[in-house]
Amino acid sequence: GVTSEISELQGSCMTGSALVIGSGFGGIASALRLRALGLDVHVIERLDDIGGRAQVIEVDGYKHDAGPTVITAPFLFDELFELFGEKRADHIEFRELNPWYRFVFPDGDQFNYGGTLEETLQEIRRIEPKDRAGYESLVKHSKAMFDIGFSELAHQPFHQIKTMAKQIPHLARLRSDRSVWDMVCQHLTNDKLRQAFSIQPLLVGGSPFDTTSIYGLIHYLERAYGIFFAMGGTGALVAQLKQLMLRQGITIQTGATVSEILTSQNRVSGVKLESNDVITADYTVFNGDPMYLYRELLPQKQIPFATRLKRDYSKLSMGLYVLFFGTDTQYPDIAHHTIWMGQRYRELLDDIFHRQILADDFSLYLHRPTATDPSFAPSGHDSFYVLAPVPHQGSGIDWAVEEPKLRERIIDALGRTILPGLKEHIQAPFAMTPDQFSDDYLSYKGAGFSIAPLFTQSAWFRFHNKAEGFDNLFLAGAGTHPGAGMPGVISSAKVVERLVREATHQPEVA
């Protein structure tokens, strides 16, 4: 009715100021959404440029996206430009990939995933004809998950238990207590296909054997929208979002680290930087690891018991080892995204997530952006990164000792299999370990995705988008609801926008 339209209008011309700490995709999206509401927005980033993990590193003519490279929900980026009457396509091209991923198994068999449903079914028929029908039922189940878990809940605030209580019947009906692995096994019989269709949780920091099957919705998300690459790389996408922010009058301060969040009673008044400068604002959004926020930045006595409990007992996602390199030759047969499967699947994941040991073997995700965008390397060359899930810093691994050995094992394995002669052709290699995630991004114990996506750490059980104990402190990013991955963190900004809007309509409590 008219009254709701009027309150929408009032909501969209708010006055006041907002401070966004951290500028990963969750922080960028929060800044844009709060600016669209009418707030003056100031962004603080401790690195030299915005983008959080989506930094760009150039070495010897090879360009590397250091962070996320897979775009699965392009409409979420479109919305950010549309807030200001602009079109994302006018600023950056998203190119659809086919295949989305190529799986390479230890016996040399390959499985191309992506393109039309029919193309995927043909590939499945080649490996296991009787799993065709199972795959179709898996997609149907994933759509049911998507309709609840993404379309209805991803942008809903979950800081109140009653919101969760309302959803329990739906979650129970979809058996979200089951793991992704158990869900996939209900539909598929072939071991290779089971592995291929259960790896999605690794993209958001969890083991398929532990992660709630709600994350099976990623499957339908891919099927519904496709998988894209931003031409020029994720860094080029960040650069365009930065220009959008600047056009809208958002101020950005880089090379600035917050040392303390300043509070007075149950409100946050601003932040103190390591330089001792103080910045004040009416609303503060934290886009970083909540484990760090609740350990290092807030007065401990003001953090409610339940939040301290969550902080002290949450299970973390795994760490990441990323090896970047160029090659002075091209490997035209390598797809843009390759998942190179090791001999062990469940046992390897148990080593990483439960035993916390660095095994001799590994499974790898290989990114070859030059398959789609030649600007990533000099002419006739390729650019690559290889990502291996590894234990986080809680494992006590000494990366100064282990990194060179792991690097050599990975180069050997790829040279023996899909990148022949890699040892002779590799150029300008360098690596990131969980130590860099801890130092650069202040990620607790160097975890790659904050806390793991377990059922008991999802929705209401995850860190809330509104901080307990403080009326005007909000959280966006991987560690909060709805979770990690680009669609998750950008959706968290929608929750923040909604909560900030609600906070202004509530009378002040003295």
Q: Per-residue DSSP letters for 271-320?
A: EEETTS-EEE-SEEEE-S-HHHIIIIIS-GGGS-HHHHHHHHHPPBPPEE
pLDDT tens string, the chain, 510 residues long: the values are 433 333 343 445 789 999 999 999 999 999 999 999 999 999 999 999 999 999 999 999 999 999 999 999 999 999 999 999 999 999 999 999 999 999 999 999 999 999 899 999 999 999 999 999 999 999 999 999 899 888 887 888 888 888 878 877 877 787 878 999 999 999 999 999 999 999 999 989 999 999 999 888 999 999 999 999 999 999 999 999 999 999 999 999 999 999 999 999 899 999 999 999 999 999 999 999 999 999 999 999 999 999 999 999 999 999 999 999 999 999 999 999 999 999 999 999 999 999 999 999 999 999 999 999 999 999 999 999 999 999 999 999 999 999 999 999 999 999 999 999 999 999 999 999 999 999 999 999 999 999 999 988 988 889 999 999 999 999 999 999 999 999 999 999 999 999 999 988 743 333
Q: Spell out where 319-416 has E strands.
A: 319-327, 337-340, 364-367, 382-390
| 49 Cβ contact list (under 8 Å, min separation 6) | 55, 238, 242, 254
| DSSP structure class, residue 454 | B
Q: C-alpha angle with apex 34: 298 to 153, nearest 5 degrees? A: 80
The pLDDT value given to residue 214: 87
**Three-state DSSP class for residue 155:** coil
**Predicted TM-score (pTM) above 0.75:** yes
Q: Strands 251-253 and 473-475: what pairing? A: unpaired
Cα 225 to Cα 143, 485, 487: the distances in Å are: 12, 15, 12
Is there a contact between 120 and 135 (Cβ–Cβ < 8 Å)? yes
CB-side neighbour CA atoms (13 Å) of 398: 2
- The rounded distance, in Å, linking the Cα atoms of 377 and 92 is 20
The pLDDT value given to residue 12: 56
- The rounded distance, in Å, linking the Cα atoms of 34 and 19 is 10
Tokens found for residue 432: 């990131």
- The rounded distance, in Å, linking the Cα atoms of 452 and 441 is 17
Q: What is the maximum alpha-carbon separation in the chain?
A: 70
Sheet of strand 110-113: strand arrangement? 110-113, 101-104, 337-340, 364-367, 382-390, 319-327, 426-432
Taking phi first (over 0 means left), then psi (-120 to 50 degrees means alpha), and beta for anything else, what does residue 146 get? alpha
